[in-house]
Structure 1
Amino acid sequence: MDEQLSFAGADAIIILCLYAAAMILIGYMSGRGKALGKSVSDYYLASRNLGIITLFFTLYATQYSGNTVVGYAPQAYREGFSWLQSIPFFTLIIGVYLLFAPRLYAVGKRENFVTPTDWITKRFQSRSVTILAIILMLWGLANYLLEQLVAIGHAVSGLTAGTIPYHWAVLGFIVVMLTYEWLGGMRAVAITDMLQGIILMVGIVIMITGAFVLSGANVPDLMQSMAQDHPDRIGVPDTLTSINWVSMLVLVGFGAAMYPHAIQRVYSSRSERILKRSMGRMAWMPFITSGFVFIVGIICIDLYPGLDVSASEELVGMLANDVAGLNPFFYWAMVILFGAVVGAIVSTADSVLLSFSSMVSHDIYGKYINPKADDQRKVRVGKIVGLIMVAVLLWVAWNPPGTLYQIFVLKFEILVQVAPAFVLGLYWKRLAAWPVFIGMLVGATVAGAMTLTGNSTILGIHGGTYGLLLNFAICVIGSLLFPPKRAVQEKNYEMTNLERSVEIKPTKQV
């Protein structure tokens, strides 16, 4: 989005200032009268009290960042109909969530879990497994946060027609993000997610409407034009592309479900019923989010033919310029949409940063460095380390690596390796600690080695997928050959037995 948007400029700056002010006000109101720094559960999980609307939209904002608009349309433009995979892999994420999230919620509610690795610690009783899981999850979070910082700079710079340069954009919105997050914790993050999610959803619908108006063609006409001018982007994918598609489904489906900030939203639900209803509604979102963005990319093949990779990265900005020129309604709709894109990116970044801080303060500092620390000190440590992490990533974001899509793929290669510990561990009492440790280590090593050597895929299959398959195999075979002692198995069964679950009914819904 470095493309300077001619429709923006002064109007866009006003919209961004209003967004920033609204976020800070939400943070202040969310934390007013509450001693947020005195309880890790209250600060990081909003007292486990998110209602269905807030939970739905915070899950929506977690799964769909502003990058879904900015990064996925160019990918659809370059790949054509093979990028249709962006719809089912978002659907698969919900399927994986439903595979483990309700059971994890029940156990987490009973055991008072705060972070994803609380489950790892309780289930496997192994410091090695816990530390390795923390490292893999923090890697995924750091990578994801870097992606958001890069996207913030490009989005604000493009939206303000270069008036706010890339570097100042990143700095400015980091300050806004830290301010409202520190003021309101998870409550502020969830409410801002809800605000950005609603505006982003409406904006995407308006953008696809504008694209159809601009093209002046219906769907059959567009398909006929593509078949004539770009048959490679509309034909049946070859075998290698199809294999890559399946690999991507596995990688993203399991990887995105392992986002620590998403798992913490599972813990934050007011009840299991609300969690299931929210996720049930989420199953429809791929069609009206990534599905609409995919169609936008396909329409742009006909509107802007012949763009190379670098030029296609600016595709959404080009389209927004042209749509904004249709009439005043579309003008203001595009200004507000791109303001919402910036806000959505920020709302994703704040979720990641909050989760990163919670894992550092609760899992590393609270469990291994200073086990006697009270909650207030843990929260303070988390804020400080989060600030340091942002500073380090800010230095990296000054010279961002690769395209947004390349950054997107990279984080899943490592993060997905914690999936067997959740998916198998919640259902299979024989799953032993040492096969889980070796499986995660081997999976992460294979994925990292393939990425570092430039062979991110072999025969169309991603390194992270190879690593995950090996990971699952080691977990299953190792646990069958060397299962835990019977007493440990009985303890594992007792811990994951849902009949023991007792829901806590709070007095006030967020």
Structure 2
Amino acid sequence: MNDLAFAGTDGIIILSAFAIIMLLIGYFSGRGEKNLHHTLSGYYLAGRNLGFIALFFTLYATQYSGNTIVGYAPTAYRTGFSWIQSISFMTIIIGIYLLFAPRLYVIAKKRNFVTPTDWIDHRFKSKAVTLLSIFLMLWGLGNYLLEQLVAIGQAVSGMTGGTIPYQIAVIVFVAVMLAYEWMGGMKAVAFTDVMQGIVLMIGIIVFLIGGLYLVGGNFSDVTRYVAELEPAKTAVPPMEVNINWLSMLLLVGLGASIYPHAVQRIYSAQSEKTLKKSFARMAWMPPITTGLVFMVGIIGIMLFPGLDKTGSEQLVGLMANEIAAINPFYYWIMIIFFGGIVAAIISTADSVLLSFSSMLSNDVYGKFINPKASEHKKVMVGKICGIIAIIILLWIAWNPPGTLYEIFVLKFELLVQVFPAFVLGLYWKRLSGKAVFWGMLAGAILAGVLTLTGYKTIYGIHGGVMGLGLNFFICIAGSLLAPAVSKSKGLEEDLTAINLKA
């Protein structure tokens, strides 16, 4: 993010205020909660008691981090109107959630699932499938957490005009995040998400209004300007771009819907009614959030023409400087908004870290290392493993690899390979554990090889999508040739019950 010339000391004050509020939320969330630190569901799922407001905003903060503004607006600037796809792939995520979330919730509540792979283990009764899915999900979470750490450093350093260096920014706000998450677990994460989500939504709207003011108040003038001076950004995209669009829809829509931290929000809902109500409201968020950010990027083409890739990555900061100069109202709104961006990035990072540590404690430690461990011990192991993971990722974040958008794409290539096992298993009783394992492994290898050898896309199709196609083929063909044999009467009852309900 570009240094914000208007911020400086005022930025430090606002960031400090956000940090103090988050710490207070963490303190009061954990105060008086006896089961919070002694049970897995208490610490990692807020006691399975999140109401509509908390659930909606924690889902919102999970899907839209500060990177939505910092990363997506520059992408719209570079690619033009074809980046309207960002609205559609955020929308399809909600559609995929509704495909499986209510069904999964019924079983998760009955069987007391804590992590996503609890469902995988329950469904297939296979250590190989469970271990592979754990690895792929942890890979996705680790990659996503790295992205957020990079974004925290860039955002804080930019907002304070470089007064707080990148490395110091990361360390300080990671320490704040660890502190309030340690004190309040998922409950603290959800309540901080409420604050951050409100600030983010209001800030995006005001930011767009300020941008429109700078270009004369008429978005059609911006469209006309872009069409005349950079017609390629308004032209009908070539076939490869359209194919890439569809590929991105599949990669992001299927991959993001099974983010472990998103799945755990499904488990945390107070009721199925609350879950469905929250998703119904979330369906309106893509145009309100990603759509407005898309417009910001297009306005930037008129305000700052000719930026190269590196320069365009600074677009949001450049526009904020101009908007803040309009009048004192915009000045303070911009400072609060950028504090909200930092807080929103942290809100995504805390969710990812909480899920990462839950999988290490419950899935790795609890299932394979020490199955007899008490829930309290598992919670403590998860907390400690989370800190170790953060230290490792901080070391990597010192020299961040590529732009935020490039980091964003990489994490889905392997994570999406869990989708057939996770969702197809809810609908198809014949799905075989052996077919799932070999499909998941083959898909991951193909996606990984293509990515590592530089073939992120072939004719616009992502390596992860090609791997997913192979994965689905092996799952379906293998299950048709050798159908699954139910190993659990309880599983048979679960699948029959949700099929009858549907």
Q: Do both proteins adopt the same fold according to a TM-score greater than 0.5, normalized to the shorter chain? A: yes
Render the CA deviation track for 1:299-324: whole Å, top value 9, x for unaligned: 11111100000000000000000000
Cα distance, 1:122 vs. partner? 0.4
Which residue number corresponds to residue 470 of structure 1?
470
Cα distance, 1:220 vs. partner? 2.1
Q: Secondary structure at the match of 1:289?
A: helix
TM-score using structure 1 length: 0.97
Contact 2:106 2:498 in 1 (8 A): no
Contact 2:75 2:297 in 1 (8 A): yes
2:478 is aligned with 1:482: no
Gaps of 5+ in 2: none
Give the whole-Å Cα distance in 1 for the aligned partners of 2:188 and 2:331: 30
How do 1:204-283 and structure 2 match up within 5 A?
A: 204-283=204-283
How do 1:419-438 and structure 2 match up within 5 A?
A: 419-438=419-438
TM-score using structure 2 length: 0.98
Q: Secondary structure at the match of 2:141?
A: helix
Render the CA deviation track for 1:39-66: whole Å, top value 9, x for unaligned: 1110000000000010000000000000
How do 1:245-324 and structure 2 match up within 5 A?
A: 245-324=245-324
For residues 322 and 84 of structure 1, do their structure 2 counterparts lie closer, same or farther at Cα, with a shift above 3 Å needed? Answer: same
Counterpart of 1:95 in structure 2: which amino acid? G
How do 1:63-82 and structure 2 match up within 5 A?
A: 63-82=63-82
For residues 19 and 501 of structure 1, do their structure 2 counterparts lie closer, same or farther at Cα, with a shift above 3 Å needed? Answer: farther
Render the CA deviation track for 1:82-123: whole Å, top value 9, x for unaligned: 111000000000000000011000000000000000000000
Contact 1:107 1:501 in 2 (8 A): no
For residues 282 and 176 of structure 1, do their structure 2 counterparts lie closer, same or farther at Cα, with a shift above 3 Å needed? Answer: same
Q: Secondary structure at the match of 2:337?
A: helix
Q: Secondary structure at the match of 2:120?
A: helix
How do 1:337-348 and structure 2 match up within 5 A?
A: 337-348=337-348
Cα distance, 1:212 vs. partner? 0.1
Counterpart of 2:226 in structure 1: which amino acid? M
Which residue number corresponds to residue 390 of structure 2?
390
Contact 2:40 2:114 in 1 (8 A): yes
Give the whole-Å Cα distance in 2 for the aligned partners of 1:360 and 1:488: 26
Contact 2:103 2:498 in 1 (8 A): no
Which residue number corresponds to residue 43 of structure 2?
43
Contact 2:427 2:499 in 1 (8 A): no
Give the whole-Å Cα distance in 2 for the aligned partners of 1:55 and 1:111: 21
Give the whole-Å Cα distance in 1 for the aligned partners of 2:500 and 2:337: 43
Please, which moves more after superposition, 214-223 or 109-118? 214-223
Which residue number corresponds to residue 333 of structure 1?
333
For residues 64 and 484 of structure 1, do their structure 2 counterparts lie closer, same or farther at Cα, with a shift above 3 Å needed? Answer: same
For this pair of structures, how many residues does the alignment match? 500
Cα distance, 1:499 vs. partner? 6.0
For residues 406 and 326 of structure 1, do their structure 2 counterparts lie closer, same or farther at Cα, with a shift above 3 Å needed? Answer: same
Counterpart of 1:218 in structure 2: which amino acid? N
Gaps of 5+ in 1: 503-510
Cα distance, 1:219 vs. partner? 2.1
Q: Secondary structure at the match of 1:401?
A: coil
Render the CA deviation track for 1:120-146: whole Å, top value 9, x for unaligned: 000000000000000000000000000
Render the CA deviation track for 1:200-228: whole Å, top value 9, x for unaligned: 00000000000000111412222111111
Render the CA deviation track for 1:339-358: whole Å, top value 9, x for unaligned: 00000000100000000000
Contact 1:105 1:266 in 2 (8 A): yes
Counterpart of 1:23 in structure 2: which amino acid? M
2:27 is aligned with 1:28: yes
Q: Secondary structure at the match of 1:440?
A: helix
Contact 2:144 2:352 in 1 (8 A): yes
How do 1:355-504 and structure 2 match up within 5 A?
A: 355-485=355-485, 487-488=486-487, 492-498=491-497
Q: Secondary structure at the match of 2:377?
A: helix
Identity %: 63
For residues 240 and 499 of structure 1, do their structure 2 counterparts lie closer, same or farther at Cα, with a shift above 3 Å needed? Answer: closer
Give the whole-Å Cα distance in 1 for the aligned partners of 2:498 and 2:213: 55
Aligned Cα root-mean-square deviation (Å): 1.3
Contact 1:255 1:412 in 2 (8 A): yes
Contact 1:430 1:489 in 2 (8 A): no
Cα distance, 1:497 vs. partner? 3.2
Q: Secondary structure at the match of 2:336?
A: helix
Which residue number corresponds to residue 12 of structure 1?
11
Give the whole-Å Cα distance in 1 for the aligned partners of 2:192 and 2:152: 16
Give the whole-Å Cα distance in 2 for the aligned partners of 1:123 and 1:46: 24
